[in-house]
Chains A and B, each alone.
Chain A
Amino acid sequence: MIFHLTLIFACQLAGELLKAGLDLPVPGPVIGMVILFAGLVVRGGIPDGLAKVGDAFLGNLSLLFVPAGVGVMLHIALIGEQALAITLALIGSTLATIAVTALVMSFLGRGGQAEKTDG
């Protein structure tokens, strides 16, 4: 277990180093995620120990952003001033994103199915 925990931390550390060294715009942990993903592809599977440690993190993922969320108390005034813009942006953008993604995917997916039945 400690080995796989170390592996996850090492991926993050490598990500942070790459980000700093190459001046990449992507957050270090995301680069770490890509490194781990590439490792899994090369290895051709997820080791049991890694699955245990990783799923322990992911199973409680939402707990981890509580401390940051509480930080919203520092910005209550700012949010109050711009509440209308924020509310409309959240609702409008969420609906637009769902509609665009679903329509493009079902259009392309249909094309793919039609090819299959034709062929």
Chain B
Amino acid sequence: MGEGLRDIWVYLAASPLLALTLTLAAYQTGFWIYRKGRLNPLLNPVLIAVVVLVAILIVTDTSYATYFEGAQFVHFLLGPATVALALPLYRQIERVRKSALAITVSLLAGSLTAIASAVGIAWAFGASDEILVSLAPKSVTAPVAMGISEQLGGLPSLTAVLVILTGILGAALGPLLLNLLRVKDMAARGLAIGTASHGIGTARALQVSEVAGAFSGLAMGLNALATAILLPLLWNWLL
């Protein structure tokens, strides 16, 4: 790099605009690859964007704190986006009324299974407390999971990545497992995928069936709420 170029780089790196633009561009790239790959869950746009951005930061020797000065403007919108999750939840209100008991019981069973099995398996294989807390809300949609993780002393950024990986796993393996278990009811399939793998699973369920997609979206919203209430209580009780 010549002197002039380096001066420009130093100037740009100090302004939030560069990190902000890079974040949007990396996500666009990820989304383009995802679409080219026919929405294959393994080509998750967030995962691609994260890998691209981490590579850029390491190569240019930029700290995460510097990057976040710009990226925080995107990050901030997670809060209002979480509030907006009330809309899809409200759109499913008729379905909830019709089979409220079955949905409540299966959702609580799934929510507790998600927490207990993640923490239990990781604990059995010697994971540290920090990892356990960061893993516990992994089935919940990212903005809520990160809030829970932060509150209980976990690492929100690690939780974000674990949430995405969980979504990809659920979207990729969920339909196969459900076929194996011979669950044919689209409501049950959707509810299961949404409880375990939030929005990424819901996107996949929507491709298969509208009913499965609706129940998956419903499960995503309800599990966010259930975990946000249950996990801190369980955690304080266990410690």
Residues of A within 8 A of B (CB): 5, 8-9, 11-12, 15, 25-30, 32-34, 36-37, 40-41, 46, 50-51, 53-55, 57-58, 61-75, 78-79, 82, 84-86, 88-106, 108-112
Chain B residues with CB below 8 A from A95, complex form: 173, 177
B interface vs A, CB < 8 Å?
23-24, 26-27, 45-47, 49-50, 53-54, 57-58, 64, 67-68, 71-72, 74-75, 77-91, 93, 99, 101-103, 105-107, 109-110, 113-114, 117-119, 121-122, 124-128, 130-131, 135, 138-139, 141-144, 146-148, 150-151, 155-158, 160-166, 169-170, 173-174, 177-178, 181, 183, 185, 187-189, 191-193, 195-197, 199-200, 219, 224-225, 228-229, 232-233, 236
Residue pair B181, A90 in contact (C-beta under 8 Å): no
Give Cα A41–Cα B93 distance, bound, in whole angstroms: 9
Residue of B with least CB distance to A76: B54
What are 19 A-B contacts defined by CB distance under 8 Å? A11-B86, A12-B80, A26-B228, A29-B144, A30-B147, A33-B83, A54-B84, A54-B86, A66-B50, A67-B23, A69-B164, A70-B71, A72-B54, A72-B161, A78-B130, A90-B118, A94-B174, A101-B188, A108-B102
CB distance from B4 to the nearest CB of A (A): 29
- Smallest Cβ-Cβ distance to A45: which chain B residue: B90
CB-defined contacts of B67 to chain A, threshold 8 Å: 67, 70
Contact B131–A86 (Cβ < 8 Å): yes
Q: What residues of chain A lie closer than 8 Å to B142, measured between beta carbons?
A: 61-62, 64-65, 68
Establish whether residues B64 and A97, one from each chain, have CB atoms under 8 Å apart when the complex forms.
no
Asked whether A103 and B183 contact (CB < 8 A) given A29-B82, A30-B144, A98-B170, the answer is: yes
Q: Which 5 A-B pairs have the closest CB atoms?
A: A71-B157, A27-B147, A101-B110, A25-B232, A67-B71
List residues of chain A with CB within 8 A of the CB of B165: 90
Q: Which residue of B lies closest to A9 (CB)?
A: B80
Cross-interface CB contact of B74 among A40, A64, A101, A103, cutoff 8 Å = A64
Write out the residue numbers on chain A whose beta carbons fall within 8 Å of the beta carbon of B233.
25
Min CB gap B72→A, angstroms: 7
B232 and A94 within 8 A (CB): no
Q: A11–B83 Cα gap in the complex (Å)?
A: 7
- Contact in complex: B77, A105 (CB < 8 Å): no
The answer to whether A106 touches B144 (Cβ under 8 A) is: no
Task: Return the contact of A70 from the options B53, B101, B144, B229 (Cβ within 8 A).
Answer: B53
* Bound CA–CA A82/B158 (angstroms): 12
User: B196: which of A55, A58, A78, A101 is its contact (CB, 8 Å)?
Assistant: A101
Alpha-carbon gap, A74 to B135, bound state (A): 17
Contact pick for A58, options B47, B84, B191, CB 8 Å: B84
